[in-house]
Structure 1
Amino acid sequence: MKIGRWVLTRALGGIFVLWAVATLIFFAMRAIPGDPAEAILGGPGSQASDEAIAQVRSEYGLDRPLYEQYLLSLGRLATGDLGTSYALKADVAGLVGELFLSTLILTVLSLLVAWAFALTLALWATRGGRIGRMIGSGMEIIAAAVPHFWLASIFIVIFSTALGWLPPISTPGPLGLVLPVLTLAIPLAGFLGQVMRESLTDALESPFVLSARARGESETGVRWRHAIRHAALPAISLSGWAFGSLISGAVVVETVFARPGLGRSLLNAVLIRDVPMVTGVALISALAFVLVTIATDAIDRVADPRLRSA
């Protein structure tokens, strides 16, 4: 019964998030100055006739009251119909499905690299004494404060222009992923590192660690067998938020590195007012965020028995 209620609560929360995203996108796109019918016909530069604009308005229901357009839009989305892209004249579901895999690979790799950086930095900072904690804290703050676009530009100048080690744009293959992944991972590692370091410090001062040391456990064993598990719990809880942060950061990173994906496509769709494409990308991103958040909550309960009992 507890598991059923938990799943039902998360499912209803996910549906609410998707409805809120669809509603926000609908009214935000309608608030942009300009005629949606002109955007469908190619923008103001298309020089479409009044008859063509009137026909498009009637075909897409743009001549109806705003609340009717909103209800029709929700009805289509509820059946899984994301519509047809205004600019590409193709099914949005198919386009988003092709782009989603590229963004998913980028975000998952970035999350794994961020975790590795954060864990390494937390372990190093807690072993280095007061000086190590100060240096680690400074590195975490700097990493967390670095903007994605600035970091991407620095990486391109150093590793592409000066050294010639890596391509300046995201080419097919592993090398094309290195700079985009590092650009997304380093700021996130700063946030996760701060959380892990504080949790690891608290865990190392806990009674169960003192007991392990009293039993003759080595310092390495204390950290890896006992302290790390407790230190990772807050970071696991933040991983759902981190995934959403990576998706939003992908808008900048995919644009800078000319990498095909949801972020770059979303930016282009907003600029040309491609409402179905914007809605499709936003909903798929929100759905991925909801699923990752649910998975993160489930992992939290597996790793922490206190949450299961609560």
Structure 2
Amino acid sequence: MNQVWRIAVKVAASVAVILAAASVTFFAQLAVPGDRATALMNLQTGQEKLWTAEELAPLNERFGFDDPILVQYLHYLTGLFQGDLGTSYTQKRPVADVIGGQLPPSLILTVAALAVAWLLALGMTLLTVKRGRFLSGLGSAWEALTASLPHYWVGVVLLVVFAVQLRMFPIIGGTSAWGSVLPVLTLAIPLAGFLGQVTRDEFVQVLRQPFVTTARSRGMSDLGVRLRHVLRHAVLPAITLSGWALGALVSGAVITENIFGRPGIGQVLVTAVNTRDLPTVSGIVLVVAAIYVVANLLVDLAYAVVDPRLAGAR
């Protein structure tokens, strides 16, 4: 019963986060300066002028702009529960279709970046922690440096060096596995430094535990001790941050996709912001919020896999 209750609480909290994000995006649309019907008419006609009430009436009626705010809000929430994110002002089709066609490339990019970030972080930790002053210092310096790098800077440097100068990768628009290397590294390198810092601190603490000494006294190799006993405990704090990291990577993908000219929600978001396509912007915000929620639920499952004893504690 306790486990069922915990699951129910997590589901309720997840729904609350989505509702909060939906509410914020709805009222943020109302806070945008200017009349929505006027902005939409300007966009559809390509003209900017003072429209009469009669000219704006069809748009106000179609989108319910003249309805009371509470009625608009309830209609918005009802649509969300039915899977309706609204209609794109620019593309004149459901926002769900606009986002749905571009979301898979972004998710593939972010998941690949998260996996590469973990590989880089764990590799640096295993190779440098307690391996002598030079290697330990080198690992710590690498993590501190990379964790402080902004995605746009990493992306531009990788693009100039490896695509423009060395011509090893396509400059823009590469969606193949080879063409995805630079975008993945752009997202993965800063995150790897951050995960490495968290894992390194815990790794050092675990190496001092009595069970590590016991394992070594039984003849287990240093690598075996690190992989079998130390690593599974040292990664737990970083796993906690992986849910947040995945959501952050989706946000970083907006910049990365525009740097490398890749398809994805990044391109859609920039276009929507430039054209004031508010339903599309709010739809992307909700999708990112949902990814955060799902990612954190997956973190709970990861905890149970790494150490089943923690499943009941979370």
Q: Deviations over 1:255-297 (max 9, x none)?
A: 1112111222123212322122122222222212211210111
Give how far 1:301 is off.
Answer: 2.4
| Equivalent position amino acid for 1:24 in 2 | V
CA deviation after TM superposition for structure 1 residue 47, in Å: 3.8
Q: Offset at 1:158?
A: 0.4
Whether the 8 Å CA contact 1:170–1:177 is kept in 2: the answer is no
Query: 1:32 is matched with which residue?
Result: 32
**Alignment counterpart, residue 66 of structure 1, candidates 45, 65, 69:** 69
Q: 5+ residue gaps in structure 1?
A: none
Amino acid at match of 1:12: A
Shift of 1:29: 2.2
- Deviating runs (4+, > 6 A) in structure 1? none
Q: Does 1:10 align with 2:10?
A: yes
Tell me if the contact between 1:239 and 1:296 (Cα under 8 Å) persists in the aligned partners.
Answer: yes
Q: What amino acid is the match of 2:142?
A: M
Of the three residues 182, 185, 190, the one matched with 1:182 is 185
Aligned match of 2:146 in 125, 143, 147? 143
Of 96-105 and 283-292, the range deviating more from structure 2: 283-292
CA-CA distance at 1:42 after TM superposition: 4.4
**Residue number in structure 2 paired with 1:171:** 174
2:134 to 131, 136, 140: 131
What is the CA–CA distance in structure 1 between the aligned matches of 2:136 and 2:301, rounded to whole Å? 32
Distance, in Å, in 1 between the alignment partners of 2:171 and 2:239 is 33
Secondary structure, counterpart of 1:175 in structure 2: coil
Deviation at 1:309, TM superposition (A): 4.5
Letter of the aligned partner of 1:125 in structure 2?
T
**Does the CA contact (< 8 Å) of 2:3 and 2:312 recur in 1?**
no
Query: Any idea what the Cα deviations from partners look like across 1:68-127, whole Å, max 9, x if unmatched?
Result: 222221121122111211111112112222111111100000000000000011112214
Matches of 1:31 and 1:236, distance apart in 2 = 37
Deviation at 1:45, TM superposition (A): 4.3
CA shift, 1:249, in A, is 0.6
How many angstroms does 1:304 deviate by? 2.1
Moved more, 121-130 or 159-168: 121-130
The 8 Å contact of residues 37 and 53 in structure 1, kept in 2 or not, is answered as yes
SS of equivalent to 1:41: helix
Q: Is the 8 A contact 1:39 1:86 kept in 2?
A: no
Q: TM-score scaled by structure 1?
A: 0.95
Which one of 243, 246, 250 corresponds to residue 249 of structure 2? Answer: 246
Amino acid at match of 2:76: S
Q: How many angstroms apart in 2 are the aligned matches of 1:42 and 1:254?
A: 29
Which residue does 2:239 correspond to in 1?
236
Q: Distance in 1 between matches of 2:274 and 2:10?
A: 34
Q: 1:287 aligns with which of 266, 290, 299?
A: 290
The Cα shift of 1:193 comes to 0.4
Instruction: Tell me, yes or no, if structure 1 residue 113 matches structure 2 residue 113.
Output: no
Give distance in 1, aligned partners of 2:190 and 2:246.
13
1:20-56 Cα shifts (integer Å, max 9, x gaps):
1111111222222222113323439424742332221
Provide the rounded CA distance (Å) in 2 between the counterparts of 1:236 and 1:208. 22
CA distance, structure 2, for counterparts of residue 20 and residue 163 of structure 1: 47
Q: Encode CA deviations 1:185-219: one digit per residue, 9 max, x unaligned.
A: 00100110001111111111111100001111111
**What is the identity, as a one-letter code, of the residue corresponding to 1:6?**
R
Distance across 2 between alignment mates of 1:138 and 1:223: 21
Structure 2 unaligned residues grouped into runs of 5+ = none
Distance in 2, Cα, partners of 1:118 & 1:12: 34
The alignment partner of 1:46 has SS state of coil
Q: Does 1:223 align with 2:226?
A: yes
**Over aligned residue pairs, what C-alpha RMSD do you find?**
1.7
Letter in 2 for 1:307: L
1:46 is aligned to 2:44: no
